[in-house]
Each structure stands twice: as structure tokens, then as C-alpha cells.
Amino acid sequence: MDPALDMLSPSGDAENPLAAVADFRPHRAAAAGAMHDPVRKTAQRHHGARKKGCCLRQTAEAQKYKLNDPIPPGATGKVLPLQGKVTDLKGISSAVAGKVDALNAALKDLGARATDTEIQIELSSDVLFDFDKSDLRPVALPSLLKVVTVMQSYPAYVCTIGGHTDGKGGKEYNQKLSERRANSVETWLVGHGASNQMNTQGFGDTKPVAANTKPNRSDDPEGRQKNRRVEITLKKP
């Protein structure tokens, strides 16, 4: 007897192989009919549509409620734990506070005059330069570093550097000296981190802030010292 026919028989009847084949065919036909049954497919589509419509109604109902509305009767839900990384702002706050403290200290040490739109800083030429020179002295560097701190805190402000001399000496000579001194300060500031827009100007002895001589026409060293200066103005654009 053919073993294949024995496998086809649901009852395992080895005596009647034709009956086994005949018994198998109705089962195969029934399975094929189930797969191609249009009524079954239609029922499945209706079930899927009802399920989708139910979800849409639930979503619409949920959207009616706002955050502070009372929970509707019979509503259930699950509280999900929040997961994420909490950023430590202490370091950022400390860094910002440190910059503000450094700025305030620099403004105070420089004796700066500040408004909402302008900052004026005056540096003595006797501190910045040797007599009749335009090269910066080493003792001037701490003050200039504080100027850089202020400028970096207001990078959009336009910086004007004005050089001034006392009234001793020829006017043309003093004009040239004041220009060289203003340029020396600008070069140093740019080389040490100041990126503001800058321009320089020399005024010679044309804008004194004190008298160069006393009322009796004698020399006034203190007055001349005040006139020898470099003025740095930061102005909001």
C-alpha cells in the first residue's frame, strides 16, 4: 500500500485508501471555502470599522476635557513615570554670577561712569605711558585688562579711544603724541580679546579737564597731570 495514501487518511484506514482520499477532500474544500467566504470577509471589515469608530469616539470624548476639569465618572487610567535627565543649573548660574561680579569690580576699579547707553572710562597717561612716550608701561596692564572685561561684557557697543595731552609743548607735537597714544591702547585691547568696533582720535591739548597753569600764570603740575589722559567711551549703537 502507498504510504502517502495512509497519511492522507484522517482515520488512518490502511484497508481502504480510496475512502481516505474521499474523506480528505471535503476537509480541504471546507478550508478553501472559509478562505474565500465573502460573508466572513464582510463581517471582518465591519468589526474593524466598529473598533476604529469606537477609538475615534473615545478620542473625541477625551478631547472635551481640559487639564483642570474633574475626572469623568468611570474613567480609568495609568500614571506613567516621567523619565529624563535633569540638568544642573548651579554651574551655569555660578558662571553668570561670576561674570557679573567681575564686570562690577572692573567698573568700580576703573572709576567708570555708566548710563543705560554709554560707559566712560578715563585712564591717566602718567600710568599708561612714560614722559613723552607712546609705549605702554607694564604697570598699565592691570587697568587695561579691566577695560577688556568691560568691553567683552558689551561686545555690541562701539568703542572710541581718545588721546589727550597737557598744554606743555607745541600744539602740533602734542596732537601727534595724542594720536600715537590712542593707537597704542587700541592695538593692545585688540590683541587681548576685545572685539568691539573701535576708532581712535587724538585731541592734543584742545580738551583740557583742568587748568595747565595757576591763576598767577605759574605752572600747575596737578592740572597738567589730569589733562594727560586717555578716554575710552563705549556707546550703545
Residues 6+ apart with CB under 8 A from 112: 106, 119, 120, 121, 150
Percent of the chain at pLDDT above 90? 55
Whether residues 121 and 49 fall in one domain: no
Instruction: Give the whole-angstrom CA distance, residue 86 versus residue 149.
Output: 32
Domain contains 74: no
Instruction: Give the whole-angstrom CA distance, residue 154 versus residue 106.
Output: 13
* pLDDT score at 64: 63
CB atoms within 10 A of CB 137: 12
Which phi and psi angles does 209 have, rounded to 5°?
-105, -5
Q: How far is the first Cα of the chain from the last one, in angstroms, to the nearest whole number?
A: 106
Whether residues 119 and 230 fall in one domain: yes
**Domain extent at residue 125:** 93-235
**DSSP helix, strand, coil percent of the chain (3-state; round to 5):** 50, 15, 35
pLDDT bucket at 17, cuts 50 / 70 / 90: very low
* pLDDT score at 5: 41
Reported as a single tens digit per residue, the pLDDT across 71-125 is 666 666 666 676 766 556 566 566 677 788 999 999 999 999 999 999 999 999 9
Answer yes or no: is pLDDT of 144 > 60: yes
* CA 182 to chain CA centroid, nearest Å: 35
Residues 6+ apart with CB under 8 A from 171: 204, 205
Domain count, the chain: 2
Whether residues 28 and 105 fall in one domain: no
